[in-house]
Amino acid sequence: MTDSVVMTPINYSADRPRAANPVKIQDLSLRDGHQSLFATRGRTEDMIPVAEMMDEIGFWAVETWGGATFDTMHRFLNEDPWERLRTLKRYFKKTPFSMLLRAQNLVGYRNYADDVARAFVDRAVANGMDIFRTFDALNDYRNFETVADQIKKNGKHFQGCMCYSMTEPRMGGEVYNLDYYIGKARELEAMGVDSICIKDMAGLIAPYDAYNLVKALKAAVKAPIHLHSHFTSGMASMSQLKAIEAGVDILDTCMTPYAYRTSHPAIEPLVMTLLGTSRDTGFDIRKLAAINEVLEKEILPKYKHLLDDSKVSVIDINVLLHQTPGGMLSNLVNQLREMDALDKIDEVYKQLPRVRKELGQVPLVTPTSQIVGVQTVNNVLYDTPDERYKMITAQVKDLCYGLYGKTAVPIDAEVQKKALKGYPRGEQPITCRPAEVLEAELEKARKDIGDLAADTDDLLTYTLFPVTGKKYLEWKYGRAEAPASVKPITLEQVKKTDALVKKAKAGELVERKAETPAKSERLRTFNVFVDNEYFTVEVDPTGDAPILVAAPQVVAAAPVSASAPAAAPKAAPAAAPAPAPAAVAGTKLAAPMPGLIIRYLKNVGDKVAKGEAVVVLEAMKMENALVAPCDGEIKAIGFKSGDTVAKGAALCVIG
């Protein structure tokens, strides 16, 4: 027992004497927990059954919003993100709400204009938000200025994050060393933060580094120190304990069913660990157990199919080897798989540190982890021996321009020059606060969306996510039918499926026919897609002559990734390899990767020159401007904004 954690005789009961300096706990189950383990698919209706019970525990705060929730809810769950706050607030009467705010990125993937940022904070407060955990992917705190001001104006808690990043196996080295973090904490204190969070999104912080860092921060600044560390690498529980010994004020945990793996340490073992010490949480372990009972039996069965069960290990030692977030690594694997290039993964791992360094040694957190990851994949797949950075994403161009802020070290001059060639805002990068060059957005968005946005909340949904946000508003107001894939599943359905699987495993599902007929040469194979699963079905006509039809329509397989919504019915004919322009003669521009059409920059009849951007395709949340493969005129266009396309789909024909 160290001198900072003093032991007193243990009293197990809930009314035991209060500790001298209890560790405060924020619960993350309802945001980061299900975001980490279940792709953010948790539904509001599945939070309500435990909400009042959780309100009784004594959490410092519950995290209920932010991060990917806003995106996922409107895109995949057909739920209004604003409504979740209002609903949960009716059940949590005592415990403050917290959210993860990506500073000027809000809950999206780029810097929005100041008018959007101010309106967003105002509406979050109006709908029930209390604590704003604010981070910037580059740790460039100029991106905090607008939201911090607005949070303070609303009288709410402004928590400033330092994204914990590394370039070496342990804290230190030239960039992300102890001095760097102390400097960041002092910057935050000067901005008037109410608390400071060490945001260890990748689970990189090692226990003794956590000890040294927290100890140094406690000596350097007055604001309470909060540690957020993911379990991914397996170190987080140890790091929490060392942080407690160093005097950390607040820790993040999850209820057991939402804990561990890429999520966070569980609360229950921590309560027992600290019981009777001077840092005792004071929580009643039996109340926590009762919540777990509900989650385990009534809620989690509906989500277990989303749990990544491809591995037996609960930790990912790749994180220790590559110092990159686990989520980023699995995104890279998914992206390569979708592009039939999984064999390139080792090359991607090898290139990653180089690309990261060239792009300014940025911390790897949303969205920079995606920006660096996707660009690395692009480099590995499309570069040639005599040319690097052949396909540069729009986001890398923005980063090179300074639109995300200042990088930890300067961006490689050659890469920057190449990225900014023909960049619409200019070829000379900016050095000011990024939002200063952004034009106000709300009024234009209001005009674009018209009466489909009933209030400011709707307007913000559309402004933040123009393509999917509009789609959602059409579902919300009955102007389009929501696809089956966004509907919830019930516990009854889960039980039925489980029973079927059990029967099938026992061999009781299908009565075997005495003889299986031989397959004829007329046999045809179909891929049948149901949501994100697909089945291969063989059909062998038993009639007379085989009926010959034109090339079968292949349904565009919605990749199981956050970037592409499950194929909506109307997107079904979005086909590879034969969509509408198939019959038109000319040179086809094929999708180099599966993705979502953001917009066409040209119309049928427009003249284009080779190398001119024609269509913007979003893949893995990054936008790629695809260019004309030759000179000519656009003869046909295969899709429209919002369509999901497969790799190889003919996006347009140039003749």
For Co ion, which is the closer residue by CB, 60 or 462?
A: 60
Q: Strand (E) positions, 558-612?
A: 587-590, 595-600, 607-608
For Co ion, which is the closer residue by CB, 215 or 228?
A: 228
Under DSSP, is residue 637 helix (H, G, I), strand (E, B) or coil?
Answer: strand
**Angstrom distance (rounded) from CA 586 to CA 652:** 9
Stretch that binds Co ion, among 198-206, 338-346, 357-365, 430-438 (CB under 5 A): 198-206
**Angstrom distance (rounded) from CA 612 to CA 627:** 5
Q: Could you tell me the smallest distance in angstroms from the CB atom of residue 201 to Co ion?
A: 5
For Co ion, which is the closer residue by CB, 326 or 559?
A: 326
In this structure, how many other beta carbons lie within 10 angstroms of the beta carbon of residue 110? 18
Binding mask 338-377 for Co ion (x = CB under 5 A): ----------------------------------------
For Co ion, which is the closer residue by CB, 92 or 164?
A: 164
For Co ion, which is the closer residue by CB, 101 or 645?
A: 101
Residue 613 φ then ψ, to 5°: -65, 135
**Angstrom distance (rounded) from CA 434 to CA 432:** 6
Q: Is 63 in the site for Co ion (CB under 5 A)?
A: no
Enter the tokens of residue 312.
């037996």
Q: Could you tell me the smallest distance in angstroms from the CB atom of residue 115 to Co ion?
A: 28
Stretch that binds Co ion, among 48-56, 197-205, 521-529, 605-613 (CB under 5 A): 197-205
Binding mask 71-110 for Co ion (x = CB under 5 A): ----------------------------------------
Q: Is 200 in the site for Co ion (CB under 5 A)?
A: no
Stretch that binds Co ion, among 30-38, 279-287, 482-490, 496-504 (CB under 5 A): 30-38
Q: Could you tell me the smallest distance in angstroms from the CB atom of residue 323 to Co ion?
A: 16
Q: What's the CA angle centered on 208, arms 205 and 212, to 5 degrees?
A: 95
> Is the torsion defined by CA of 353, 343, 554, 575 positive or negative?
positive
For Co ion, which is the closer residue by CB, 63 or 623?
A: 63
Interface with Co ion: number of residues (CB under 5 A): 2
Q: Could you tell me the smallest distance in angstroms from the CB atom of residue 650 to Co ion?
A: 40
Enter the tokens of residue 501.
């699987």
Q: Strand (E) positions, 90-224?
A: 97-101, 131-134, 157-163, 195-200
Three-class SS string for 54-117? HHCCCCCEEEEEECCHHHHHHHHHCCCHHHHHHHHHHHCCCCCEEEEECHHHCCCCCCCCHHHH
For Co ion, which is the closer residue by CB, 201 or 411?
A: 201
Nearest to 565 by CA among 460, 476, 465: 465
In this structure, how many other beta carbons lie within 10 angstroms of the beta carbon of residue 521? 6
Q: Is 32 in the site for Co ion (CB under 5 A)?
A: yes
Stretch that binds Co ion, among 42-50, 194-202, 294-302, 380-388 (CB under 5 A): 194-202
Stretch that binds Co ion, among 193-201, 243-251, 430-438, 440-448 (CB under 5 A): 193-201
Q: Could you tell me the smallest distance in angstroms from the CB atom of residue 353 to Co ion?
A: 23
Q: Could you tell me the smallest distance in angstroms from the CB atom of residue 466 to Co ion?
A: 26
Strand partners, 98: 63, 131
**Angstrom distance (rounded) from CA 526 to CA 238:** 51
Q: Could you tell me the smallest distance in angstroms from the CB atom of residue 365 to Co ion?
A: 9
* Under 8 Å between Cβ of 224 and 250: yes
Stretch that binds Co ion, among 26-34, 113-121, 172-180, 332-340 (CB under 5 A): 26-34
Determine the number of helices (DSSP H) and then strands (DSSP E) in the chain: 21, 18
For Co ion, which is the closer residue by CB, 73 or 649?
A: 73
Q: Strand (E) positions, 555-628?
A: 587-590, 595-600, 607-608, 613-619, 622-627
For Co ion, which is the closer residue by CB, 146 or 229?
A: 229
Three-class SS string for 510-535? CCCCCCCCCCCCCCEEEEEEECCEEE
* Under 8 Å between Cβ of 445 and 439: no
For Co ion, which is the closer residue by CB, 32 or 130?
A: 32
Q: Could you tell me the smallest distance in angstroms from the CB atom of residue 31 to Co ion?
A: 9
Closest-by-Cβ residue to Co ion is 32
Stretch that binds Co ion, among 32-40, 106-114, 150-158, 611-619 (CB under 5 A): 32-40
For Co ion, which is the closer residue by CB, 201 or 348?
A: 201
Provide the binding-site residues for Co ion, judged by CB under 5 A. 32, 201
